[in-house]
Amino acid sequence: MAAKTVEQRLAEVENRCARNEDYIQIMNVINKSTYYAMAGMSQEMHKELFAKTTPIRITLGDQGYWEGMGIGKRYEEFMGLGMSGTVEERKKTMLGFMSIHPAMCHVIEVAKDGKTAKAVILSMGIVAGNMGGKPSSNWEYDKLAFDFIKENGQWKYWHHHCYTLLRWRTDEKWEDQFKPKVLPPEMANRPRMKMDGPTREGDDNPYRPDTMQRMVPPMPEPYETWTDSTYIY
C-alpha cells in the first residue's frame, strides 16, 4: 500500500477539523435552545436556530406532528412560549414561567457530505408556571431526536421529535402519574395547535410500570448523505 501524500494527509486533517467544528456547532444549537426556552425567548430561538429555507417537521410524543414552513413558532406556542408584542406584553405572559430542560447524553452523527446531521439526547427537566391562577410545576423527562440541516454554513433544526418518557406534577405521588388525566382549559383549548397528522405507530415509548423500554429512538449511525430512507425521526 502506497504511503499517503502530504496533500492527502492535509485533506484528512481538514476533514476532521471540519467535522469537529460541525459537532461543536450542533451542540451549541441544542444547548442554546435550552437557554432560550428558559428565558422565554421564543422569537429569538426561531430566528437563530430553526431552518428557514426548507419545511421542518416537529413531532410531540403520541400527540402528532406539524410539518411545513415556520412550524417552529406553532411548537413554541403549544409549549407556552409563543410570545409576541412588546417587551412589557411578553413579561406579563411569562410571569411565573420557567422551563429547564438540560440536554445530556448526546449522540451526534454528521453526514460525510457535511450537509445534514442527526442527534439524540436525553432531557430531564421541570416546567413551572401559573395554571388557573395558582403556581404549578411538572417534571418532564424526554428523549429528543433531531435532524439538522446546514443553511448558509450554519446548522439549523430541521426535524425535531420529542419522545415522552415521564410527565408528572411535582406535588403528586409517583403512582398518580399513570392515572388518566384531562388537560386543563389553558392547554386543551388551543385551536391553532391542531396537529397536521398522527404520530407513527410505535414511535413513542413512555414509561409505564406495565411496559418495557425499547431503543426508541434508535441512535444515529454513520451515513454518507441525506435520503428519504435515512429519515428515522
- The DSSP annotation for 85-99 comes to S-HHHHHHHHTT-EE
> Which SS3 state, helix, strand or coil, does residue 212 take?
coil
* C-alpha dihedral, 182 to 184 to 185 to 191, nearest 10°: -70
In a domain, 231, yes or no: no
> Which SS3 state, helix, strand or coil, does residue 129 take?
strand
Query: Which domain does 67 fall in, by range?
Result: 6-207
The grid cell for 129 is 408556571
Grouped pLDDT means (10 residues each) for the chain, 233 residues: 81 86 96 88 84 87 79 61 53 76 93 94 89 82 94 94 88 84 54 64 80 89 83 59
**pLDDT attached to residue 147:** 95
Give how many domains the chain has, as a whole number.
Answer: 1
In a domain, 222, yes or no: no
Half-sphere exposure (Cβ direction) of 93: Cα atoms closer than 13 Å:
17
In a domain, 133, yes or no: yes
In a domain, 228, yes or no: no
In a domain, 230, yes or no: no
In a domain, 224, yes or no: no
**pLDDT attached to residue 181:** 67
**pLDDT attached to residue 158:** 93
Q: Angle at the Cα of 189 (from 98 to 127), degrees rounded to 5?
A: 15
In a domain, 116, yes or no: yes
66: buried, middle or exposed (CB in 10 Å: 19+, 13-18, 0-12)? buried
Question: For residues 118 and 135, is the Cβ–Cβ distance under 8 A?
Answer: no
Of residues 142, 158, 133, the one with CA closest to residue 34: 142
Question: For residues 205 and 163, is the Cβ–Cβ distance under 8 A?
Answer: yes
**pLDDT attached to residue 191:** 45
- pTM, to two decimals: 0.84
Provide the CATH number for the domain around residue 27.
3.10.450.50
